[in-house]
Structures are given as structure tokens and as C-alpha cells.
Amino acid sequence: MALKTGDIITFERTFTERDVELFTEISGDEGSHHITPDEQGRLVVQGLLTATLPTKIGGDYNVLARNMNFEFLRPVFTGDILVCEVKIEKCEKKENHRTVIVATFSCENQKEKEVLTGDFSGVIL
């Protein structure tokens, strides 16, 4: 299904300890809060791992991102249930047969607290 201006795409994800461990290995982001559980047994999820939530749209719709902006509002912990809502602000076919896309996004945890907001732009291949 093709995207169009005004579309809203919503999906859910929960990051696990294994997700954080793998991202730690790949990124080298080894802050103690990412490798030592808190008093509730949770790890803090790396900000850039959290930022992979809206990039799911890129994979689902073959978007080549050109620009991405993130505002990290509060920590995300392993086990949090996150809901990401992406709104397509612009989706326009150009003369070169590429489709330009601009989108905004917001991610909330299970307590309905915003944890991440931002926007991205790019082209659909």
C-alpha cells in the first residue's frame, strides 16, 4: 500500500535486555545504566536504539532517509511498552519518479508519557 499525505501509522514495540546487549556491542555505548540493571531489574535503553522506532517506516515503505531529528524526552527502560505514531506530512511524486516524504513522529510509553518526538524526510525508492 502506498503512503499518502495525512496517513498515520502506529505500531508497538518492547525492547528487551538482549536488544540492549546487542546494541551495546554494535554501538560501543557501554554506559553503566545500559549494562547494570536498576533496583527494578531494568536497563536503560540507549537513545539511538529507541530512535530505531520511527525508522521502521523506512523498512516497511522503502524510504531512503535524508534527514532525521530526534528529541529524547525521558528514559526508556527494558520492558516498557512503546507506541510509535508516525504522521505523513508530505508524500509527493516528483518528475524524477521519486516520491518525497516528510513525516513527524511521537513515541509514548505504557504510562502514556512521551519519550521521543521528531521528524524525518527522504525519498521512497
Residue 3 pLDDT? 93
Return mean pLDDT, the chain: 95
Question: Which CATH code fits 8-124?
Answer: 3.10.129.10
Does 96 score more than 90 pLDDT? no
Domains of the chain, residue spans: 8-124
Number of H helices, E strands in the chain: 4, 5
* Cβ neighbours of 18 (radius 10 Å): 9
What span, in angstroms and rounded, lies between the C-alpha atoms of 1 and 20? 32
Summarised one tens digit per residue, pLDDT across range 38-48 is 999 999 999 99
pLDDT at 95 (0 to 100):
80
Instruction: For residue 102, give the C-alpha cell.
Output: 516528510
Q: Which three cell numbers stand for residue 11?
A: 505500531
3-state secondary structure of 17: helix
Q: How far apart are CA 28 and CA 44, in angstroms?
A: 15
